[in-house]
Amino acid sequence: MTRDEELSDLPFFRDLAADEIRRFLHATGAGEKRYAKGDRILRAYEDNGSLGVIVEGRGQVLTEDRFGNESSSHLLERGALLGSTSAILGAPGIASVVALTETRVLWVAWRALITAGTRLGRIHGIVMKNLLVSFCRKNYLMTQKIEVLSQKTLRERIILYLLQREAQQEAPDVKVPGRLQLARELSCNRSALTREVRAMEDDGLLVTGEGWMRLDHARLEEEHK
């Protein structure tokens, strides 16, 4: 895959041709930066004026308080946006991003993106549309997360989490992260998650494999009659 093909596949550049992407990069002065595993891609409470797009690799969001206490949050993969809140609002963010693998990020200065509009015309409009779609999707996913965490029991959280991802992935066998990351996403400890998953398997509600889980909908309906 060429660099142009690699970038055209990103949601940020959806509906743009390769030559239009090159024009955008030139007009905004956008550029890539590489990060080694363990590097901080973004640091909490530091100024940031650019939007980042992950071109390759994975990152982990870490929320951080003023005392330096960190807690792990969601994963960021290819195509994910980062730094948008601090860049657009002009205020330091409260989250850091650490590279989980060797990672490449395309950085676009927010001010350059805004001022390039008159020179880029249609291209600028498409990129801004893609940004709005990304922001709306992020808000939608955040709403879903709040819905999951508002469930009274861990079993209810697991069921709703898997139902949401069934719809997103359009497949009954839901791809899930490792148990430690899944526990973080469900706001529980790993041992509690392992116990509940085992109990759901024993009750015939859940089938699991390497990196995936599948709900038994027939059994689920029986239990909720």
The model's pLDDT over 84-118, given as tens digits with 9 standing for 90+, comes to 989 999 888 878 899 999 999 999 999 999 999 88
All structural domains of the chain: 3-141 (2.60.120.10), 151-223 (1.10.10.10)
Query: Over the stretch 212-224, which tens digit does the pLDDT of each residue have?
Result: 999 999 988 887 7
Query: Over the stretch 127-145, which tens digit does the pLDDT of each residue have?
Result: 999 999 998 988 888 888 8
Residue among 29, 9, 8, 28 at smallest CA distance from 18 = 8
Q: What is the mean pLDDT of the chain?
A: 89
Q: Give the pLDDT band of residue 70 (cuts 50, 70, 90).
A: low
The sign of the CA dihedral 47, 53, 57, 58 is: positive
Residue among 207, 184, 188 at smallest CA distance from 197 = 207
Residue 3 has a pLDDT of: 65
Residue 69 has a pLDDT of: 63
